[in-house]
Structure 1
């Protein structure tokens, strides 16, 4: 074996830990280099959706990639539970995007039609439902709800427990986790990668960059590119209440613990030290119009976080031509795509090459000479 490890993964968040677990289950020796627990991780703005609906407008391959992930999630859930005993609370019986008023309903109907009309898009069975049809499935909706779209592949999980399950399972598989060791430089010498940290050097035959927005700085060290366009989001959480929401929404979900999470904001702002209270007010107002009974609940916490976001919102998966054995993975939907990262991406890295179809669709080369704004959605 070249180096201390088969693979060194930079980034121990949900993306990096999913790939690390996947490599560990394939018998690879793996080191995960991570920041400390007090680091401001992008996953703080995580909404924990396993989401297919609306994904891929402008890139049909992304629709297929998310459908593939959604279908693989039950297998991932079962394997993690069998290995660790932890239940990540996967609920996957379909999800809604609700509309308020006829204008929003018409806009959503147009979006659904555009998604279905994309050449090469996977069949993900998103359909529009009237208010009466929605009410049969969500009896407590308010009178302003005009209907909405429904996708049977959508769902959600307990993302904190998922993160814990990956790290517990990684340890059981012999993956070495090194917190408080952010990587400052990467060099390839003598057929191996040398990753410098404040606590020493790690050597590995391959390296995977899974460090979220930091990939933009790390990728050029190994001849790769990771154009990022991070955004800020805010989340509001209420006290626990009776079960009332059997299907998650793009903007509201009831956790397995009974709390209600509200969050659909997106700002071109990278300071997460303060909250924009007018944005919280708008999110809360829309939630109350969708479910009026929420008015009696107390808000128990609210926070903002910086989301990982490739420049156009779609994932980036690449391998280096100048530094063979170096890979980069960037995505916004770390929960949705966790099964693909654990099974598919990890398998490709173990074999030493990404599938040509994946690189063709998601390579950062699509940004060459382009300044495409973020526009793919941010669920």
Structure 2
């Protein structure tokens, strides 16, 4: 059993070492705080493993305009995050923001997407961002490899992508560079509020800290009530197909198809709300593959090298949750479906809020209180 003398206690204990936990841990350590990350390690149902690595603004924030502003700020801060990670670790995360496309395989599909973008931009107090609606010919001028079934597209110049595996590695290397005490295989089974802070316990022993951040993805549902918080979520399974490397043909990321900086093609981003198993569902992967081939016929000649699936964190409305406990101040919950897109917000803004102990008005809209407001008639 490990005993830490009080002067060695971390300033903040973070439960979870995925993209969310790693961003917050590194962000706090950048400010000179002593941080301990308690991570399940690779037994975790890591959402970070199923990320499609898009930095994506397009279409975010319908029903919660603050999410549009939060996402747009994230995309604008990404170059700063990428350069800071590079200087801390020497790892280039492959950030590329040429803009991104939503491709539509029928006129009706295009109209549905256009209507959604108009509704999003017509919301009161929303942040407007640029986008273009393109027909088949205009789309083909920028994406010459599209097939005849693509009826049109929506292009947003703010969108981009990163190398997902290098991002995860860079964050963990950056934590190490900033002396974060990272502990794998440390499943937290209980959190007890104590005078002056919290005791986090597991089979491995106990850690005490004045502040605790729950960034454990699906594990937050079990932990949040221990510190007077809620973590409403539904597991959303995502499947991804990866092909062999191909000659570069896709200069821009598409919402369901992207060519990585190494040449392979990733097809994916299914969202299956009721899946209970991590087994690949071929009925879904075959639909994903079929749509991708209709978008880019040359994909039909490529071999699949791997497929994978993982559960991701999806709140009831798809927007993030950030909240400090009212009954146990110093305890925070942080959950987001878009861990890659929002990484700069978590490393910079959210880490600032936790360091200062106050979540400001513009981020307080992401509390769980929004789920308890009765719908207006």
TM over 0.5: yes
1:214 is matched with 219
Write the distance in 1 (CA, Å) between the matches of 2:252 and 2:155: 10
Question: Displacement of 1:298 after TM fit?
Answer: 0.5
For 1:18-69, what per-residue CA distance to the aligned partner results, in whole angstroms no more than 9, with x for missing partners?
Answer: 0000001100000000002243312222111111000001110000000000
**Which whole-Å CA distance do the structure 1 matches of 2:374 and 2:10 have between them?**
37
Q: Aligned partners of 2:231 and 2:17: how far apart in 1?
A: 18
- Cα shift at 1:101: 1.6
Give the superposition deviation at 1:352. Answer: 1.3
| Counterpart residue number, 1:321 | 326
The equivalent residue for 2:317 is 312
- Match for residue 366 of structure 2? 362
Residue 256 (str. 1) matches residue 261 (str. 2): yes
Query: Distance in 1 between the 2:244 and 2:163 partners?
Result: 16
Give the drift of 1:302: 1.1
Please, which moves more after superposition, 65-74 or 195-204?
Answer: 195-204
Unaligned runs of 5+ in 1: 372-379
Q: 1:331 Cα deviation (Å)?
A: 0.5
Give 2:356's aligned residue. 351
Match runs of 1:171-320 below 5 Å? 171-320=176-325
The two structures have a TM-score, normalised by structure 1, of 0.95
Equivalent in the alignment of 1:131: 136
Deviation at 1:239, TM superposition (A): 0.4
Aligned twin of 2:65: 60
Structure 2 unaligned spans of 5+: 1-5
Q: Does the C-alpha gap of structure 1 residues 64 and 209 become closer, same or farther in structure 2, counting only changes over 3 Å?
A: same
- Output one character per residue of 1:73-99: Cα deviation in whole Å (capped at 9) or x when no partner: 000000111111101000111000000
Pick the aligned partner of 1:330 from 328, 332, 335: 335
Distance 1:126 1:203 in 2: 48
Q: CA deviation at 1:271?
A: 2.9
For residue 2 of structure 1, report the CA deviation from its aligned partner: 7.6
Aligned to 2:3: none
Distance 1:97 1:271, change over 3 A: same
Alpha-carbon distance between aligned partners in 2 of 1:129 and 1:102, rounded to the nearest angstrom: 11
Count how many residue pairs are aligned between Structure 1 and Structure 2: 370
Between 1:121-130 and 1:327-336, the stretch displaced more is 121-130
For 1:100 and 1:145, locate their aligned partners in 2 and report how far apart those are by CA, in whole Å: 5
> Whole-Å Cα distance in 2 between the matches of residues 352 and 268 of structure 1?
34
Which region of structure 1 is more displaced relative to structure 2, 31-40 or 65-74? 31-40
Pairing of 1:88-99 with structure 2 (within 5 A)? 88-99=93-104
The secondary structure found in structure 2 opposite 1:234 is strand
SS at match of 1:145: coil
